[in-house]
Structure 1
Amino acid sequence: MNMSLFLKIIGIIFIIYLIIVFYVYSKQRSLLYVPNIDNYDDETLIIDVNEVFIENSDGNKLRSVFYESPKTTKNTLLMFHGNAGPIENRFYKLNKLSKYNQNILLISWRSYSDNEGSPTEQGLYDDAKSAIKWLQNKGYENEDIIVYGESLGTAVSIEMTQNKSFKGLILEAPFTSMVDAAKFHYPYLPVSWMLKDRYMSKDKIKNINTPLLIMHAKGDSIVPFWMGEKMYELAKEPKMNYFIDENEHLVTYDDELMKNMDNFYKLIGLNE
């Protein structure tokens, strides 16, 4: 092969690579946020909830459910779900977590669960702030609220709770940053400068002054386990972890998990 032909082939490969990079850059939010993919089975609620619509600053009404404990309490679990699927996918968690002396608010993001709007990092932060404001308008303070983030929702949870005093923080399958996650899934792309939504949780976790529980499956193929370990390592005390030997992205809600959840709720002084 002569040098001219070799350079021509290299040039063609480089142009194809640039086209791929440009395409991924232009479509990255539709690749990152997948509200219409439903990977989990819905579970029928065994508790009574009210469907509520929480308005964000863009005027989108976010479909949510609110469970009021039969016991009069200010303790409230605020749940931020992960990527993909509607809020019905998380009803099994409400069924389990309703045993504690707490109310529960589960919100859905803009564009998820048939909501209007387009998801972005700042947009999801705004949705979360709107949920906290909704609770505050009902008379709840930050000190009454346990924040629960799942996967993508962990980054939002950390943003909301850093440098503030909440009752507790639960992170399920947390990632260090979206940059690190993108490098894991797309090692052939220059994601460090491509990403618009970066979710730099590893830089914020040190600002968490709230009792913390991190849960992560060691065989997680979506958010690798080392990220959960790293987040735990970077976090301040008091903190607990539940690292389980299974190959799921989200940890299985079985008796062993609930024992660890019991211990965390004892840590924050909230019994059944």
Structure 2
Amino acid sequence: MKIVRGVFLGIIVLVAVAYFGAVAYMYFNQRALQYSPTGELTALDATRLTQAEEVIVPSGDEQVTAWYHPPAANMPVIVYYKGNAGSFTSEYERFEQWVADGYGFVAFDYRGFPASPGVISEVAILKDAIAVYDFAAAKGFPLVIWGWSLGTGPATYVASQREAEALLLETPFLSAVSVAHERYPILPTRWVMQDQFRSNEWIQEVEEPVLVAHGTGDRTIDVSNGERLYDLAPNPDELWIVPGAGHNQLWDSGIWAKADAFFQRSLAAN
């Protein structure tokens, strides 16, 4: 009986050591697990954005690299907050379409991503997000905000702190910590995760009309995140769910047509 008890206690100790080892690994490596800041840079002169300029935007004690293009007459500037992987410069085809339809835009890499120096953290990302918004606001044009994936966090935060014409959230999370909990339900993510991006709290302070776009085939951020976040918006405009669409497939599924119509009716309402 003592042998059985000893084996049982030994198993409990091994499980506890493995569990707390996993928690410690997650804690000390969490930003490496959370962010994917590597990728190739696309040169501005390799795109069709011939009237855009590369600008350096001060952000606290750091600076970020952005592309800026002014809008056509009576059109807004899209303030764009990129996703988690690589550089914003790889998304130049989006920017080309926006410019072709008369929109201006500003897009950038958060500090620690390929085009911008610095160390990644939620605090740093939110500082960069505000700095770039304020840079765009100083140009004097109407502004609309577009966040994609990770960028839906800073986009929602900025909309809660600044005034814009509209907020579009493409494949958003309810919060980053809620996604982490969904992936690692046995780990105490709410206690150890540093960069939680609580969009579920920020969205409640957003006065702008909100469009949420998501796909039912999203395996990165489950569609329920977008649905729940939309339900919290004080000024909901549209919830656009694309059957079968994955995390990176909404552009090819026609989100630009939805976004264009959303931005235009938001501008008309104001």
TM-score normalised according to structure 2 size: 0.89
Matched residue, 1:209: 207
Does 2:78 match 1:77? Answer: yes
Identity %: 24
Amino acid at match of 1:11: V
How far off is 1:106 after superposition? Answer: 0.6
CA distance in 2, matches of 1:45, 1:217: 29
Three-state SS of the structure 1 residue aligned to 2:211 is strand
CA distance in 1, matches of 2:39, 2:182: 21
Does 2:60 match 1:57? Answer: yes
Does 2:87 match 1:86? Answer: yes
| Equivalent residue in structure 2 for 1:25, among 19, 24, 27 | 27
- Say whether the 8 Å CA contact 2:174–2:228 is kept in structure 1: yes
Q: How does 1:185-196 map to 2 (within 5 A)?
A: 185-196=183-194
Three-state SS of the structure 1 residue aligned to 2:130 is helix
Three-state SS of the structure 1 residue aligned to 2:84 is coil
Amino acid at match of 1:77: I
Residues 10-51 of structure 1, C-alpha deviations (whole Å, 9 max, x = no match): 10221122111111101111211110167xxxxx63332211
CA distance in 2, matches of 1:252, 1:139: 30
Residues 208-246 of structure 1, C-alpha deviations (whole Å, 9 max, x = no match): 110211111111001000000111112123411221013
CA distance in 1, matches of 2:74, 2:109: 24
Matched residue, 2:163: 165
CA distance in 2, matches of 1:135, 1:168: 15
Three-state SS of the structure 2 residue aligned to 1:9 is helix
TM-score normalised according to structure 1 size: 0.88
In structure 2, relative to structure 1, the CA distance for the partners of 1:55 and 1:164 (3 Å cut) is closer
| Equivalent residue in structure 1 for 2:255, among 251, 254, 257 | 257
CA distance in 1, matches of 2:164, 2:108: 18
How far off is 1:89 after superposition? Answer: 2.3
- Say whether the 8 Å CA contact 1:80–1:107 is kept in structure 2: yes
- Say whether the 8 Å CA contact 1:77–1:148 is kept in structure 2: yes
How far off is 1:157 after superposition? Answer: 0.8
**How large is the RMSD of aligned CA atoms in angstroms?**
2.1
Three-state SS of the structure 1 residue aligned to 2:267 is coil
In structure 2, relative to structure 1, the CA distance for the partners of 1:251 and 1:214 (3 Å cut) is farther
CA distance in 2, matches of 1:230, 1:193: 22
Does 2:125 match 1:127? Answer: no
Residues 78-111 of structure 1, C-alpha deviations (whole Å, 9 max, x = no match): 1010101111222121122224433110111001
- Say whether the 8 Å CA contact 2:160–2:203 is kept in structure 1: yes
- Say whether the 8 Å CA contact 1:82–1:150 is kept in structure 2: yes
Matched residue, 2:227: 229
Three-state SS of the structure 1 residue aligned to 2:29 is helix
For structure 2, list consecutive stretches of 5 or more residues without a partner in the other structure. Answer: 41-45
Does 2:185 match 1:184? Answer: no
CA distance in 2, matches of 1:259, 1:117: 36
- Say whether the 8 Å CA contact 2:53–2:67 is kept in structure 1: yes
Amino acid at match of 1:120: S
- Say whether the 8 Å CA contact 2:230–2:236 is kept in structure 1: no
Moved over 6 A (4+): none
Three-state SS of the structure 2 residue aligned to 1:128 is helix
How far off is 1:182 after superposition? Answer: 0.3
Which has the higher mean CA deviation after the structures are superposed, 225-234 or 238-247?
238-247
